[in-house]
A = this chain, B = another copy of it.
């Protein structure tokens, strides 16, 4: 993930300097700044002046890139959702039985929750969007939910997961994962990958039918040299 130095502005608008970056880069810079501010202070407490100020521009300049505040919010959300859709597609195409796919999904989703764009998926309020965009958000949430339920149901069917109610279990897992977006902070004791792998292990070990010996033994931290993040 892009190194965004603390507190500094990665703004393409340097006060008195080359202001000639490509339009898309500026658009993205707006979104990165907006996401950060929305998460820090909450959408309703952040004004467009705040966003603009942090970018060394003025509010009306934002309207060259976006039509409204809620469109900015939506695009922020979309950035995060895009990533989720991508890894869902990748996992779905990949191999493994249902339980293995579920583990991958949990791992990827948990990691996503530790990022700004991931946290925005659960910490933004869809009701701040237009009716049309709310529909899009609802559809996306439904896609995620369906994926979790499908893996659970498939796992029960193929015997890799012990009988459970897919709907309720999906809610339980999603809740655990979404919550990461509320408490995780980069400067904490746990790396994103560490949190994700612990969650993947812990959330599935109660579900696996046979003693989960695929990769991580029941004892968590011995065999996995998962110290610093690879990648």
Contact = CB atoms under 8 A, between A and B. Distances in A.
Contacts of A91: none
A179 B175 contact: yes
Contacts of A131: none
B179 A199 contact: no
A175 B171 contact: no
**Quick one: which of A173, A176, A206 has the most chain B CB within 10 A?**
A176
23 contacts: A41-B127, A42-B125, A44-B44, A163-B219, A163-B220, A164-B220, A168-B190, A168-B199, A168-B202, A171-B176, A171-B179, A172-B199, A172-B202, A172-B203, A175-B179, A175-B182, A176-B176, A176-B179, A178-B179, A179-B179, A202-B206, A205-B206, A206-B206
A198 interface: yes
Contacts of A163: 219-220
Interface residues of A, number: 35
A185 interface: no
Contacts of A227: none
A183 B144 CA distance: 14
Interface in A152-175: 163-165, 168-169, 171-175
A195 interface: yes
A168 B180 contact: no
Nearest to A208: B206
A165 B205 contact: no
Interface in A187-211: 190, 195, 198-199, 202-203, 205-207
Nearest to A174: B179
A206 B163 CA distance: 14
A107 to B, nearest CB: 14
Contacts of A207: 206
Nearest to A190: B168
A102 interface: no
A45 interface: yes
A30 interface: no
